[in-house]
Amino acid sequence: MANEKIVARTGNEAMAEAMRQINPDVVAAYPITPATEVVQIFAGYVADGIVDTEFVPVESEHSAMSACIGSSAAGGRTMTGTSSQGLALMAEMLYIAAGLRLPIVMADVNRALSSPINIHCDHSDTMMVRDAGWIQIFSENCQEAYDNMLQAVRIAETAKLPVVVTTDGFIISHGMERLEILSDEDAKNFVGEYKPENYLLNFDKPITVGALDLTDYYFEHKRQQVEAIKDSKKVILDVAKEFGTKYGRTYGLFEQYKMDDAQIAIVAMGSTAGTTKVVVDELRKNGVKAGLIKPRVFRPFPKEELAEALKNVKAIAVMDRSDSMNAQEGPLCVEVKAALFDADIKVPVLNYIYGLGGREIKLEDINFVYNELTDAVSGKSKNRISYLGVRE
Amino acid sequence: MAIQNKAKKPGWKELPEGDLIIGGGTALEFKTGDWRSKRPIFLKDKCIHCLTCWAYCPDAAIITQDGKVVGYDYEHCKGCGICYHECPVKGKAIMMVSEKEAKANEKK
């Protein structure tokens, strides 16, 4: 696109760049590795007067999300950023933000949860709050992180739901890549002006926010919230369509990579999808009909759409970068399998728990998984769950 | 959305989104007086109309007229007794009685 600028940026820089262009009313945040830079760089923009944002440095992530809730309820466009323990500390407030239907947008850099303490990537933090009522968007690389942040604002404000955009800690957050950024004007026009329907600082139309809801109303409000997240699929697709039409990069609920005639498929989220694409290309050269599905949104979970995309494959491997500690499988696999069951698709589904605490996932590892899938297609029985890359 | 005086409560599709109550002053519609176990009784002859009770009442249940206390809003008074506690009059201008007994006496 003519108005786009090509730069080199890390994932954190890309997210901060998006925040600069969004120019939110309020950002309340607390630093945590590896997400610190997102709000640190943004705080620099505030200090230099480049943005009009009120920056609230708080004493914890619990306070960060609390301040965001106050700001959003008051009517301000509100953003924050965090990771791992910070997200965990926010957990209580995340449910409140979602229950109050506040369109807060958060940059979340995926990092393992303690204990043992670790600062590197896995998805256990984001998975921990998967039922909080936030729309969860995963990014494969810096470009997606940037594009997703811009789209998240529109999605949040249209669906009246908070949105978390994730990148993979260090792999994306600190990895420098080629990034196409919109002109400030295009970005500003795309996100538009925030016009909340109801907000606390509207003295002409007073409201009460967060009233006590007991046995007689709580259930109805929760039912309403579920419907909103279900309906947000359409919002996500509409915003993605507009973004794709204007700027040429297309997004959906998930990406299908060489799935048209695929016989074996991996389902993987985040940066691992990039690694998988390289392996798919190699396998394709050797005539192996391999494909990849990369869920972009984990909430709302696109179950019918995923089942449709997987209906012709002979075996599926689901890659989970977190474990559910002896649930049926890892969190992504549980969802995929349930989707397949409801669509009457009965093929071998292998679950791989991988990359915990930032353990590297290499091309050979992905290649190994596709080989296992080929075996599974030919009837060789495989472990339902494998721990890929752990020392025995 | 805890408004009590509705015959049929709205379903989830009818409620304002996000646990909002639209409009101001809606606490008036929420009758909390039936929570009371102690009832304040206004002793008109002792009252010096200093309005200390009015300032302290957490439920705005002290009714005044022309700057003078005239009685209590029993639909909202929860019987917390703060008015009684704060009343500076020697011997108190407010008497806290058992709600149950007060109700029984009303029926007689």
- CATH number of the domain encompassing residue A294: 3.40.50.920
The answer to whether residues A344 and A205 belong to one domain is no
Checking B22-28 for CB contacts under 8 A at 24+ apart, the result is B22/A198, B22/A205, B22/A207, B23/A206, B23/A207, B24/A206, B25/A206, B26/A208, B28/B76
Tell me: pLDDT of A261 over 60.
yes
The band of B36, judged by pLDDT with boundaries at 50, 70 and 90, is very high
The answer to whether residues A215 and A267 belong to one domain is no
Closest C-alpha to A125, from A171, A157, A160, A94: A94
The answer to whether residues A212 and A113 belong to one domain is yes
Q: Is the distance from CB of A50 to CB of A19 less than 8 angstroms?
A: no
The answer to whether residues A224 and A298 belong to one domain is no
Phi-psi bin for A211: left (phi > 0), alpha (psi -120 to 50), beta?
beta
- 3-state DSSP: chain B helix, strand, coil percent, rounded to 5? 25, 20, 55
Tokens of A202: 């509207």
What CA–CA distances, in Å, run from A365 to A276, A352, A390?
9, 10, 11
Tell me: pLDDT of A220 over 80.
yes
User: To the nearest whole number, what is the mean pLDDT of chain A?
Assistant: 97
Q: What is the mean pLDDT of residues A238-255?
A: 98
CA nearest to A97 within chain B? B18
The answer to whether residues A129 and A243 belong to one domain is yes
CATH topology of domain B32-107: Alpha-Beta Plaits (3.30.70)
Cα B76–chain centre separation: 3
CA nearest to B20 within chain A? A209
Q: What is the mean pLDDT of residues A31-52?
A: 98
Q: What is the mean pLDDT of residues A338-344?
A: 98
Tell me: pLDDT of B30 over 90.
no
Question: What local confidence, expressed as pLDDT, does residue A352 receive?
Answer: 98
Distance of alpha carbon A178 from alpha carbon B76, whole angstroms? 64
Q: How many CA atoms lie within 13 A of A9 on its CB side?
A: 23
The answer to whether residues A51 and A115 belong to one domain is yes
Which residues neighbour A370 within 8 Å (Cβ) at sequence distance 6 or greater? A264, A266, A279, A283, A288, A290, A317
Q: Is the distance from CB of A351 to CB of A315 less than 8 angstroms?
A: no
What is the number of structural domains in chain A? 2
Query: What is the DSSP track for A335-348?
Result: HHHHHHHHTT----
Beta strand A290-295 with A254-257: parallel, antiparallel or unpaired? antiparallel
Question: What local confidence, expressed as pLDDT, does residue B63 receive?
Answer: 97
Question: What local confidence, expressed as pLDDT, does residue B6 receive?
Answer: 52
Residue A8 phi, psi dihedral angles, 5° rounding: -105, 125
Residue A82 is inside which H or E element, if any? strand A78-82
Residue with the larger pLDDT of the pair B108 and A95: A95
Note the pLDDT tens digit of each residue in A138-197: 999 999 999 999 999 999 999 999 999 999 999 999 999 999 999 999 999 999 999 999
**A160 CB near a chain B CB, below 8 Å?**
yes
Q: What is the pTM of this model?
A: 0.93
- Other CB atoms within a 10 A radius of the CB of residue A151 amount to 25
Note the pLDDT tens digit of each residue in B47-99: 999 999 999 999 999 999 999 999 999 999 999 999 999 999 999 999 999 99
What CA–CA distances, in Å, run from A57 to A39, A42, A65, A224, A347?
10, 12, 11, 33, 51
Residue A64 phi, psi dihedral angles, 5° rounding: -60, -50
Q: What is the mean pLDDT of residues A256-285?
A: 98
Q: Are the Cβ atoms of A198 and B23 closer than 8 angstroms?
A: no
Question: What local confidence, expressed as pLDDT, does residue B3 receive?
Answer: 53
Is the bond preceding B40 in cis, omega lying within 30 degrees of 0?
no
Tell me: pLDDT of A1 over 80.
no
Tell me: pLDDT of B106 over 90.
no
Share of chain A above pLDDT 70, in %: 99
The answer to whether residues A174 and A266 belong to one domain is no
Question: What local confidence, expressed as pLDDT, does residue A107 receive?
Answer: 98
Distance of alpha carbon A306 from alpha carbon A361, whole angstroms? 24
Q: What is the mean pLDDT of residues A234-254?
A: 98
Q: Are the Cβ atoms of B22 and A205 closer than 8 angstroms?
A: yes
Q: Is the distance from CB of A124 to CB of A113 less than 8 angstroms?
A: yes
The answer to whether residues A59 and A131 belong to one domain is yes
Find the CATH number of the domain harbouring A171: 3.40.50.970
Query: In chain B, what are the domain boundaries?
Result: 32-107
Distance of alpha carbon A86 from alpha carbon A84, whole angstroms? 5
Contacts of A198 in chain B (CB under 8 A): 16, 18, 20, 22
Which residues neighbour A381 within 8 Å (Cβ) at sequence distance 6 or greater? none
Q: What is the mean pLDDT of residues A198-205?
A: 96
The answer to whether residues A218 and A326 belong to one domain is no
Q: Which residues of B touch A (CB under 8 A)?
A: 1-2, 9-13, 15-26
Distance of alpha carbon A311 from alpha carbon A263, whole angstroms? 10
Contacts of B24 in chain A (CB under 8 A): 206
Query: What is the DSSP track for A256-269?
Result: EES-TT-SEEEE--
Share of chain A above pLDDT 90, in %: 98
Instruction: List the domain range (segments joined by +) for residue A151.
Output: 5-247
What CA–CA distances, in Å, run from A337 to A46, A295, A306?
46, 14, 10
The band of B4, judged by pLDDT with boundaries at 50, 70 and 90, is low
Question: What local confidence, expressed as pLDDT, does residue A294 receive?
Answer: 98
B51 CA to chain A: closest CA distance, Å?
Answer: 29
Cα end-to-end distance, chain A, whole Å: 50
**A102 CB near a chain B CB, below 8 Å?**
yes
Contacts of A99 in chain B (CB under 8 A): 18-19
Chains A, B: CB pairs < 8 Å: 61
Range of lowest pLDDT (A89-103, A337-351, B9-23)? B9-23
Helix A142-159 with A218-247: angle, nearest 10 deg:
130
The answer to whether residues A206 and A276 belong to one domain is no
The amino acid that residue B49 corresponds to is H
Contacts of A200 in chain B (CB under 8 A): none
Distance of alpha carbon A392 from alpha carbon A79, whole angstroms? 43
User: To the nearest whole number, what is the mean pLDDT of chain B?
Assistant: 92
Question: What local confidence, expressed as pLDDT, does residue B44 receive?
Answer: 96
CA nearest to A159 within chain B? B17
Tell me: pLDDT of B2 over 70.
no
Question: What local confidence, expressed as pLDDT, does residue A2 receive?
Answer: 53
